[in-house]
Structure 1
Amino acid sequence: TDGQMPQTREHLLLARQVGVQRIVVFVNKVDTIDDPEMLELVEMEMRELLNEYGFDGDNAPIIMGSALCALEGRQPEIGEQAIMKLLDAVDEYIPTPERDLNKPFLMPVEDIFSISGRGTVVTGRVERGNLKKGEEVEIVGHNTTPLKTTVTGIEMFRKELDQAMAGDNAGILLRGIRRDQLKRGMVMAKPGTVKAHTKILASLYILSKEEGGRHSGFGENYRPQMFIRTADVTVVMKF
């Protein structure tokens, strides 16, 4: 009902910058619109916007529906049926990511907690490779000496498994590691395959004022927050 919001353009721009190739669009709240010509205009504008940001607006699926109708079980053609169309469009139009199984194991640490009588568990999404119960791992990051430990358990969706592989969201039980030794943003990896660094070389795209970004410039020694995997750290910029 409000048309394209500024954050829609920002999200499309960011999606393109991080390498997203295909987009599926769900136009919500169509239960509040009675004019079919208005819906046609919305779709046309959305396709033009996708083309403007480098996506295939002519072929991208655009589904009209109402999340509220789906939740309340009314007007199924724009409610439940529209949600099913959305799921089908994602399955058909978005390619399934290939699991990177051939490289050494690596998993960013997302959360840490202790289980009484068992040990420390770290959770996260396996980025590459695979990990089996009983294997050794190394935990690296946050200017600490790498911590070596052994995997004593792997769990996903409350089921104990023998291994986790790229793409899995898993909880990893570790031997001899205290919770206070670990922090979100560290990475768990096959021993000897990763190192922590305090300097990186980056290529930047700075959002303009019109794109919802900065209203003023910045210079050397500017200290922004950097988000990389699960880490959130303050950095100093040098040119």
Structure 2
Amino acid sequence: MTAVLRLENVNTFYGAVQAHFDLCLDIYPGEITCLLGGNASGKSTAMKVIFGLVRPRSGRVLLAGEDATQWGTPRRVAWGLRSVPEARRLFPFMTVRENLLLGAYLRKDRRQVAEDLERLLDLFPRVGERLNQAAGTLSGGEQQMVAMARALLGKPRVLCMDEPTMGLSPLWVDRVLELVQTINRQGTTVFMVEQNARAALQIAHRGYVLRHGVVTLSGTAAELLDNPLVENAYLGGKAI
């Protein structure tokens, strides 16, 4: 099976500081793939590389097998990458409806956009109750649902989520991850950067562990959950 998104031997630098060392990731269609790691491991930089916000010094970004390394961010978004960014990044003084519709700015099928929005509001009923509120007045969990629905309104080929559970209460963490599973079961490929390793691996198909810019472990989610190194480092054991 061809990866829908692949990072191939990526070496990324910030000036003289190297952030990635021959980073390789494969995200397969129809799956949830998680990238795990602590602070300063290179997770968020990997997301920036995927969207063309940071260009690797060497290596390639492949989208459905096509070399997209030199593509700008707009072309990658037009291809079908969509982001649920860290800290949601909503426009706080715009209404929830206005924030949602920004997700469809590249689409020309206005009637279908309206139908898709109604379908998304069935999936996110809390969002539907707050369409006319300013987005900045919502709770963190509610804002996360708006950010997810906004990205989905763009009909992503790959939905990329950066720390979707960060700063949320345990109840909202569970709800957000349930929604990620539902979205995936409806056919959306998901790539998720997360620090909450146990929660991510419990819903993912496969995962990678990144440490100081190097993939130290990879495999199916079940394999990683059972791996004592992951247990020690990320699931409550002694750090490695």
Shorter-normalised TM range: under 0.3
Q: Which is richer in helix?
A: 2
Which structure's CA Rg is the greater one?
1
TM-score by length of 1: 0.23
